[in-house]
């Protein structure tokens, strides 16, 4: 079974973390000295140099009772779920910040770069794209700020956390894709911060629950 899962310290071929077990539920903590556990070298992902992914292999790994997360089979899933809302909101705030940074970098770039004798910023298309982007970021920021306030006063619902994660990550990728486009060919260069923001944003629609899973959560609340 292939599963992406949480693990610290996998880049050097070792792994300490949480095993996903039984229908993908997080249930046990394991250590890198556990018999039958092996990890590959890091997987090269689209976002090179930042994330820490590896394949982890389990062969008849035995987990002592005292390492069961949540104290009993199934308890680890409940424990993981208890922090998921906070993770989704914290991530949503990061996605908004990344979109804002991409916007600022793009405005800087199109002010400087010239084509056909004028600044890229002076094309009406550029102005309209930037106007749409600014509006979309402000919209997402207002919702995420509202969810952050509700997180602090303890009233945020799981549906709202899913809505914030879905909205912010989809907005982030869509915004950064248009920002990269406004950079032209240079935007595709790995050395440009916009390309790094873009490739990171692609992963943000997948981790901490993919956009599809957020929609499943939200739809469940609709009935």
Ligand X SMILES: Cc1cc2nc3c(=O)[nH]c(=O)nc-3n(C[C@H](O)[C@H](O)[C@H](O)COP(=O)(O)OP(=O)(O)OC[C@H]3O[C@@H](n4cnc5c(N)ncnc54)[C@H](O)[C@@H]3O)c2cc1C
DSSP states of 23-36 as a string?
TTEEEEEE-TTSTT
In degrees and rounded to multiples of 5, residue 7 shows phi and psi of -155, 135
Instruction: Determine if 51 is a binding residue for ligand X (CB under 6 A).
Output: yes
Cβ proximity of 136 and 177 under 8 Å: no
Site for ligand X in 6-25 (CB under 6 A): 6
Nearer to ligand X, 159 or 210 (CB): 210
Candidates 55-63, 64-72, 129-137, 201-209: pick the segment binding ligand X (CB under 6 A). Answer: 201-209
Among left, alpha and beta (phi > 0; psi -120 to 50; other), residue 199 is alpha
Q: Cα–Cα distance between 111 and 21 in angstroms, integer?
A: 52
Which residue do the tokens 């910023």 mark?
A: 121
Contacts of 133 by beta carbon, 8 Å cutoff, 6+ apart? 99, 103, 106, 175, 178, 179
Instruction: Determine if 83 is a binding residue for ligand X (CB under 6 A).
Output: no
Instruction: Determine if 206 is a binding residue for ligand X (CB under 6 A).
Output: yes
Selected binder of ligand X within 48, 72, 111, 207 (CB under 6 A): 207
Instruction: Determine if 84 is a binding residue for ligand X (CB under 6 A).
Output: no
> Which residue of the chain is nearest ligand X when measured via CB?
4
Instruction: Determine if 212 is a binding residue for ligand X (CB under 6 A).
Output: yes
Q: What is the 8-class DSSP label of residue 123?
A: S
Selected binder of ligand X within 4, 57, 128, 188 (CB under 6 A): 4
Q: Which two tokens stand for residue 58?
A: 């389990």
Nearer to ligand X, 83 or 142 (CB): 83
Instruction: Determine if 131 is a binding residue for ligand X (CB under 6 A).
Output: no
Instruction: Determine if 93 is a binding residue for ligand X (CB under 6 A).
Output: no
> Which residues contact ligand X (rule: CB under 6 A)?
3-6, 45, 51, 203, 206-207, 209-210, 212-213, 216
């Amino acid at each position: 079974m292939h599963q992406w899962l949480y693990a610290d310290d996998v880049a050097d071929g070792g792994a300490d973390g949480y095993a996903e077990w039984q229908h993908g539920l997080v249930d046990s903590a394991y250590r890198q000295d556990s018999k039958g556990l092996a990890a590959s070298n890091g997987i090269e992902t689209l976002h090179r140099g930042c994330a820490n992914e590896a394949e982890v292999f389990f062969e008849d790994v035995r987990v002592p009772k005292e390492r069961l997360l949540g104290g009993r089979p199934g308890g680890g899933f409940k424990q993981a779920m208890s922090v998921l809302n906070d993770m989704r909101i914290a991530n949503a705030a990061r996605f908004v910040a990344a979109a804002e940074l991409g916007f600022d970098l793009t405005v800087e770039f199109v002010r400087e770069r010239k084509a056909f004798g004028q600044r890229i910023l002076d094309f009406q298309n550029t102005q309209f794209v930037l106007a749409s982007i600014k509006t979309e970021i402000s919209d997402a920021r207002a919702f995420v700020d509202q969810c952050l306030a509700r997180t602090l006063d303890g009233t945020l619902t799981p549906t709202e956390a899913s809505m914030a994660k879905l909205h912010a990550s989809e907005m982030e990728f869509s915004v950064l894709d248009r920002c990269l486009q406004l950079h032209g060919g240079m935007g595709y260069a790995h050395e440009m911060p916009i390309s790094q923001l873009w490739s990171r944003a692609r992963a943000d629609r997948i981790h901490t629950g993919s956009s599809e899973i957020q929609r499943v959560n939200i739809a469940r609340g609709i009935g």
